[in-house]
Amino acid sequence: MSTPEPRAPEVPARLVFASGEWTEGRAQIVERSPAWRRSSALMQLSLWLLIPIVFFIPPHIPWVLLVLMLGAYRAFNRFREHRTLLALHGVCPKCGTEQNFPELGRMKRPHVVRCRNCQWDLRVEAPLAGAAS
Ligand SMILES: [Zn+2]
């Protein structure tokens, strides 16, 4: 269902704590083109092909609505996925714990990750990399 991820070069990324303290980490980020976002969103809408199948499961209508909303939600998220975070490694500026952050996927604005040691939220700041198609 998912396309193979392109290899992304590692770029420096800042991990910023609310007080302004920051450390430098390493991130792998893919810039998504408008064409990729459109085609990927359409792929997510293919979930709607399940509607004729789930319609036969009682109580019929709730399953159809669920699949409709799930497909639309996933397509909407793909359509606004301008950048994808593939990997993030760094040191927490609050407690100093070095770790791989698990909050990957679509990069939000701002993208927030949580330190697994001190449980504080850290903002990720990364420069724009070259656009990949
Ligand atoms: Zn921490």
Residue pair 101/113 in contact by the 8 Å Cβ criterion: yes
Residue 8's pLDDT is 79
| Distance from the alpha carbon of residue 96 to the mean position of ligand 1, in angstroms | 6
| Distance from the alpha carbon of residue 97 to the mean position of ligand 1, in angstroms | 6
| Distance from the alpha carbon of residue 15 to the mean position of ligand 1, in angstroms | 11
Please write the tens of the pLDDT for every residue from 60-114. Answer: 999 999 999 999 999 999 999 999 999 999 999 999 999 999 999 999 989 999 9
Cα 116 from Cα 102, distance rounded (Å): 10
Q: Residue 117: helix, strand or coil by DSSP?
A: coil
Helix or strand holding residue 44 (H, E)? helix 34-45
| Distance from the alpha carbon of residue 122 to the mean position of ligand 1, in angstroms | 9
Using the predicted structure, report yes or no on whether residue 1 has a pLDDT greater than 60. Answer: no
Residue 41's pLDDT is 96
Residue type, 48: W
| Distance from the alpha carbon of residue 114 to the mean position of ligand 1, in angstroms | 8
| Distance from the alpha carbon of residue 21 to the mean position of ligand 1, in angstroms | 12
Interacting residues of 23 by C-beta distance below 8 A, sequence separation 6+:
14, 15, 90, 91, 92, 93
| Distance from the alpha carbon of residue 17 to the mean position of ligand 1, in angstroms | 9
| Distance from the alpha carbon of residue 120 to the mean position of ligand 1, in angstroms | 6
